[in-house]
């Protein structure tokens, strides 16, 4: 049988382990490698054909729970693997939703900036035209009315400038997210490379290697 993905490995091993008669250390190492394989393969949670889903994992959890000829410790470890798989799927779904929301927020911020810049340009043009045109007759207006009119126009200009400044700041913050996400993804990829090296190395009963694999796996988290 050809094992194509970490999920295929999990399914195969949960069928094989109950029939195996291996030492506890070897079984522990196999389960540790099994956990590594799941998170390394195909984007941490999904096969090429999209077969992996929460429903599929839950069905596998139910199947493993019904196995009667498996040691309790082994069953507990495998169920823990499947539970972690579900957590990774949920994180991936949350990341996708957040990425779409950030994308929409950036589009909205850019539209607001374009609109405010147009309004400011129109307001400046209006002031320039008023300056070039014949001054309006304010002779019938009182001093308080003139001050109120000037104050109103200045307030409108100030409001637009403040709104434009706020939207530009929001846009700058949104523009930082891709670089931050790239840096986090680089860290995840580095951890995955280390896990892959451990998986491809000869399987030996070495407690230090197993502990290192478990530590690296614990540090490999799906980030935005």
Q: What is the pLDDT of residues 167-222, one digit of tens each?
A: 777 667 666 666 666 666 666 656 656 655 555 555 444 556 556 655 665 555 44
Tell me the C-alpha distance between 208 and 57, whole Å.
30
Closest of 75, 73, 70 to residue 25, by C-alpha: 73
pLDDT of residue 3: 41
Express each pLDDT in 57-95 by its tens digit. 788 888 888 888 777 887 788 788 778 777 777 777 777
Tell me the C-alpha distance between 223 and 185, whole Å.
7
Instruction: Report CA Rg, the chain.
Output: 31
pLDDT of residue 159: 82
Here the tokens at position 155 are: 């307030």
Here the tokens at position 110 are: 């850019």
As to burial, measured by CB atoms within 10 angstroms (0-12 exposed, 13-18 middle, 19+ buried), residue 38 is buried
For residues 116 and 164, is the Cβ–Cβ distance under 8 A?
A: yes
User: What band does 2 get if pLDDT is binned at 50, 70 and 90?
Assistant: very low
pTM of the model: 0.37
Closest of 208, 216, 215 to residue 190, by C-alpha: 216
Tell me the C-alpha distance between 23 and 130, whole Å.
91
User: What band does 143 get if pLDDT is binned at 50, 70 and 90?
Assistant: confident
């Amino acid at each position: 049988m050809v094992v194509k993905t970490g999920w295929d490995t999990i399914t195969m091993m949960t069928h094989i382990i109950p029939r195996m008669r291996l030492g506890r250390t070897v079984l522990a190492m196999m389960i540790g490698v099994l956990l590594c394989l799941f998170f390394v393969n195909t984007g941490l949670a999904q096969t090429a054909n999209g077969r992996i889903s929460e429903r599929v994992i839950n069905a596998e959890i139910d199947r493993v729970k019904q196995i009667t000829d498996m040691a309790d410790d082994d069953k507990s470890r495998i169920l823990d693997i499947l539970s972690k798989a579900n957590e990774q799927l949920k994180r991936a779904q949350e990341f996708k939703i957040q990425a779409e929301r950030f994308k929409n927020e950036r589009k909205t911020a850019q539209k607001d900036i374009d609109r405010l810049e147009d309004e400011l340009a129109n307001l400046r043009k209006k002031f320039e035209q008023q300056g070039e045109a014949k001054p309006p007759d304010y002779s019938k207006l009182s001093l308080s009315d003139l001050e109120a009119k000037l104050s109103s126009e200045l307030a409108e200009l100030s409001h637009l400038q403040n709104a434009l400044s706020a939207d530009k700041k929001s846009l700058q913050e949104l523009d930082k997210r891709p670089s931050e996400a790239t840096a986090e993804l680089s860290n995840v990829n580095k951890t995955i490379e280390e896990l892959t090296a451990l998986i491809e190395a000869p399987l030996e009963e070495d407690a230090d290697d197993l502990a290192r694999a478990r530590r690296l796996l614990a540090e490999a988290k799906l980030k935005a």
